[in-house]
Amino acid sequence: MKPHKNKTFATLLAAVLGGIGAHRFYLYGRTDRWAWLHVVLFPFSIFAGFIAALMLGLTPDEKWDEQHNRESGKTSNSGWPLILLLVLTFGGGATALIAAIARTFDLLFTGGAYG
């Protein structure tokens, strides 16, 4: 019998530590090649972590259980904590993306006037 994988916890890992692939290690173990790619490409993987958090969190509970909890004997029941986490993840990801775009334009057009 396999352990039950919690969707809210996987989403939290992707939102907070997605840049190093913590959510992939939680879901698939140490042998997952995509998780190790997150570790190697850490600075670029931060945005991938935000996207992965949204994808994991928006997966319906039935599909989640079919993919990750087929042999656990339990069913998932996501609630308000997951919704709040998704809202915060979306806001944080949008803020990070806007900041990255602004910094890129600053470097390209002014030569880095703000630092």
Q: What is the full DSSP assignment across 8-45? A: HHHHHHHHHHGGGTHHHHHHH-TT-HHHHHHHHTHHHH
Q: Between vectors from CA 21 to CA 15 and to CA 27, what angle results, nearest 5°?
A: 90
What are the backbone angles phi and psi of residue 88, rounded to the nearest 5°? Answer: -65, -40
**Separation of alpha carbons 63 and 42, rounded Å:** 29
Contacts of 42 (CB under 8 A, 6+ apart): 19, 20
pLDDT of residue 113: 66
Q: What is the pLDDT along the chain (115 residues), one digit of tens a residue?
A: 788 899 999 999 999 998 898 999 999 999 999 889 888 888 888 888 899 999 999 999 999 999 988 888 888 888 999 999 999 999 999 999 999 999 888 888 887 766 5
pLDDT 10s digits, 18-49: 889 899 999 999 999 988 988 888 888 888 88
65: Cα separation from own chain's centroid: 18
